[in-house]
Amino acid sequence: MTTTRTFILSGMMLAAFSLPGLAQNNGGGISEDMLVQIREAQPHSPADRALFNAIAANSIDALAVNHARKGAIDTYFNVETPPQNITDQQQSGRCWMFSGFNVLRSDFASRTDSLTVNLSHDYLFFWDQLEKSNLFLQGVIDCADKPMDDERVRFFFMNPISDGGTYCGVADLVSKYGLVPAEIMPETYSSDNTSKVAGLLKSKLREFGLQLRKMAADGKSRNDIRAEKTKMLATVYRMLSLTMGEPVTEFTYAFKNRNGRAVTEAKKYTPMTFAAEICGGKPVQDSFIMVMNDPRREYYKTYEVEYDRHTYDGTNWKYLNLPMEDIAGLAVASLKDGHKMYSSYDVGKFLDRKRGYCDVQNYDYGSLFGTTFGMDKAQRIMTYDSGSTHAMTLTAVNLDKDGKPLMWKVENSWGPAYGQGGCLIMTNEWFNEYMFRLVVDKKYVPAKMLKQYEQKPVMVMPEDPLFLPDR
């Protein structure tokens, strides 16, 4: 009897699982009736079958391309800063450093009558990774009294280290560790290809974090915990030294002109004295403000991103939120004076990679799929559909007869063979929709905006979709 009942119940369960309608709950699942309606809503004409065959065998972008926009690109810009050699970040997320260095070396060339210099990304990236390791470990210590499922603790362990960042990191790191020429400390495989060493560092840092939390739970003294953290950082230092080389402390260097000819006497430098010469003795930290366009938040207010910095003793990412027309005005003023700028974008949206051209009309995805994609900029940000992903150096603008922007150009860090000789060109419409951050020298910022920037900032959380690091 028991065996018969078991067999019958098993059969009923199998039958339930074999029928889509019976297998769903009574709430929000897809019922059998819903599935019938969904299927009935599908068109089945010969044209639709042909459309499927085309999409199944080709890339979506190739089919959605708007051929009416495939003509020659106007590459003329009536406001353009002097060109410089294009760099290549390779397989790394260091665009923030490449763009920041582009600004520093452009200003140096302008100030010294075209002396050129290539700066070592490997050198400063070493210190960036060591500082971010300390930022994580000290953050774990600071939150050691909170449970593992606390929001802040989760944030640290989810993001112990990364190779992304912002211009604030360039400013803090250069001020603390200086600069080195690329010839003195060239790239290594791991600085060009950061994923493997980053994965190993993340794993080791999380292990260290748990050890520090246990020490705190066991009542170890602050001095004991700090001593253990120092030992942990020594391990990180060795991992970085083996993959990127130990940072130089002194070197001899002669500056070159655009033709590559040495035109100054060879001189001994430390990274700090070299940075002072590159920056003209002007502190990088105090020379700029960051502005952003975040239509979700009140304009002309200052915001600060908590825990978003490169060094524990550095500065959080702070910005003045402005409408795009105000950001464009600051950019034009800077470019007219020959000054390039660090800027950030959601670069993958509507990018014609072959031509290096950003235009919201490059692709017509709506017509291809018979629908619309209608979210505005604020809605795209709040739903994680869009946000700043990549830093590039704003270098030119084309203005109409009334001084309004038509086109913009940026120096990218994907090598000189990409796009327009290593640059990207973007329409003003695309610029308004997918540009987010701009770093502007204070001398181009009106007094009213400088005062607004000095307001007590509203603190915002680093988990916000707009505050992902530039890569």
Q: Give catalytic residue positions.
A: 95, 390, 412
Output the CA–CA distances (angstroms, integers) from residue 390 to 85, 349, 426, in the order listed. Answer: 19, 11, 14
Specify burial of residue 271 (Cβ count, 10 A radius: 0-12, 13-18, 19+): buried
CA distances (Å), 185 to each of 100, 125, 126, 194, 257, in order? Answer: 18, 11, 11, 17, 20
DSSP β-bridge partners for residue 289: 440
What's the rounded Cα separation, in Å, for the pair 290 and 442? 10
- SS3 at position 215: helix
| 373 close to 350: Cβ distance less than 8 angstroms | no
Planar angle of CA 370, 366, 351, nearest 5 degrees: 155
Is the distance from CB of 102 to CB of 85 less than 8 angstroms? no
Task: For residue 345, give the nearest of 387, 385, 306 by alpha carbon.
Answer: 387
What's the DSSP call for residue 67?
G
**Helices 151-158 and 195-217, packing angle to 10 deg:** 140
Identify whether the C-beta of residue 330 lies closer than 8 Å to the C-beta of residue 291: yes
**By the 8 A CB rule, do 128 and 100 touch?**
no
Q: How far apart are CA 318 and CA 304, in angstroms?
A: 4
Backbone angles phi, psi at 413, to 5 degrees: -125, 40
What residues contact residue 84 under an 8 Å CB cut-off, 6+ apart? 102, 105, 106, 109, 116, 411
Structure tokens belonging to residue 398:
């084309």
Distances (CA, A) of 208 to 163, 211, 215: 19, 5, 11
